[in-house]
């Protein structure tokens, strides 16, 4: 019985740490910035956030943020506005439909509105809509 006591204590500690790590999730903005390398504005409110499940690699994520005022998305970035052609737009929308079925259609990017786009690491796209003061972020992950 005494031989199994250290193993039992170790298993209970491991289980407790697993539960604790699941209880504290990273805010959507911080996770996106950390993984994608993009710098998003600080004055945003999270409207919607979905993080996919994965056993290895980086889980995909789709998030929508609202802004209280206009921002210059490119002021913190050295990147230029990413111009998407019709094929790229169709591929992104198709990816959303097939990989992130949990995302409601109302939160999809609206490419008929004026937008600015940034491309980050892990195939992350940030779309800024200045007319509606929203930023929508699609991180495809791997």
pLDDT tens sequence across 56-114: 778 899 999 999 999 887 665 556 678 899 999 999 999 999 999 999 999 999 999 99
Predicted local confidence at residue 76, as pLDDT:
58
Domain ranges for the chain, please list them.
27-139
Q: Are 30 and 49 in contact (CB under 8 A)?
A: no
Which pLDDT does position 21 carry in this prediction? Answer: 38
> Helix, strand or coil for residue 123?
coil
Please answer whether residues 130 and 138 qualify as being in contact, where contact means their C-beta atoms are separated by less than 8 angstroms: no
- Give this prediction's pTM: 0.78
Neighbours of 116 (CB within 10 A): 17
CB 84 within 8 A of CB 118: no
């Amino acid at each position: 019985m005494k031989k199994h006591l250290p193993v039992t204590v170790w298993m209970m500690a491991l289980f407790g740490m697993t539960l604790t790590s699941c209880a504290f999730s990273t805010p959507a903005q911080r996770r996106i910035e950390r993984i994608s390398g993009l710098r998003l504005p600080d004055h945003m409110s999270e409207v919607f956030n979905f993080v996919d499940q994965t056993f290895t690699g980086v889980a995909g994520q789709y998030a929508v943020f609202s802004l209280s005022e206009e921002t210059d998305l490119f002021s913190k970035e050295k990147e230029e506005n990413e111009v998407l052609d019709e094929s790229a737009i169709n591929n992104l929308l198709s990816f959303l439909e097939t990989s992130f079925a949990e995302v409601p259609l109302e939160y999809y990017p609206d490419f008929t509105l004026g937008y600015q786009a940034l491309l980050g690491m892990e195939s992350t796209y940030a779309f800024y809509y200045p007319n509606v003061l929203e930023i929508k972020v699609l991180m495809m992950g791997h």
